[in-house]
Structure 1
């Protein structure tokens, strides 16, 4: 009896795999993400995304979060920040131009959201990126502009 209890105690516990239910079906998730990316520089309303997916706003929001792990607004914000980082690194656009291109209402809002996300303001982040790139290119001078 003691041996059978010991065997049971050593057996790995296998939990049944839960089916991921409640998320968007793939075509709806792709559609919503593509609409967001296509309109990143504009105001993106969750109600418009829900309507495009033929769902109520609340059902769409719950399903989107279930599928992506983020609310629609958080996913939009994440995409805007990713686009801003790409523009900061690859263009000489001002931070004001970048903020508007990425759908932020103004540079102050962009700087606030960027700093909250990255722990550093976008100007300092740009300077850090330029310095890291110039370390790869001998003789280059970093030029940091807002």
Structure 2
């Protein structure tokens, strides 16, 4: 019985391709470098990542609906996944939870509005989906480490 069967070659090349893909995604350290989290991290279960088309779809959906309440159920239904599977896959693929992803989009939109318009902070808060100006200011300060008005002052001056 030959030891070098075509089936073994296909399996080996598939494994090599998967390892290169995981390394490209940052799931594995580059060759020769130690993996600082190797003892803490469990291997990802199959299917616990969002395919590229689903990741792009959810990013577009969030960007288009920032002024709405975006629950985990709403986001998961957009990509036809259960809430638990979507939350796990989002964290594994994008590195953030769905809630953090929505917050990141809201803060990014707010920064564009703060830099490019004279819209009052209260209106920006509502446009970006925050409950009110205080909620917006608190979350903005946590993420950006500056208040919205200070950030606007620094970034409008820098762009002029």
Scaled by the length of structure 2, the TM-score of the pair is: 0.69
- Distance in 1 of aligned mates of 2:107 and 2:89: 23
- Select which of 42, 49, 59 maps to 2:68: 42
- Distance in 2 of aligned mates of 1:33 and 1:18: 22
Any idea what SS the aligned residue of 1:103 has? coil
Which residue pairs with 1:53 in the alignment? 79
Which residue pairs with 2:145 in the alignment? 119
- Select which of 16, 24, 27 maps to 2:50: 24
Which residue pairs with 2:104 in the alignment? 78
Matched, 1:103 2:105: no
- Select which of 88, 91, 94 maps to 2:117: 91
CA radius of gyration, larger in? 1
Cα RMSD of the aligned pairs, angstroms, is 1.6
Deviations 1:76-95 (A, max 9, x none): 10110010000000001000
Tell me how far 1:32 sits from its aligned partner.
Answer: 1.3
- Distance in 1 of aligned mates of 2:51 and 2:147: 37
Deviations 1:55-88 (A, max 9, x none): 1100000001111000011011011001000000
Which residue pairs with 1:7 in the alignment? none
Which residue pairs with 2:154 in the alignment? 128
Gaps of 5+ in 2: 1-18, 28-45
Which residue pairs with 1:141 in the alignment? none
Deviations 1:112-139 (A, max 9, x none): 01111122111111111233234xxxxx
- Distance in 2 of aligned mates of 1:122 and 1:114: 7
- Distance in 2 of aligned mates of 1:121 and 1:51: 34
Gaps of 5+ in 1: 1-15, 135-146
CA 1:101–1:25 in structure 2 vs 1: closer, same or farther (change >3 Å)? Answer: same
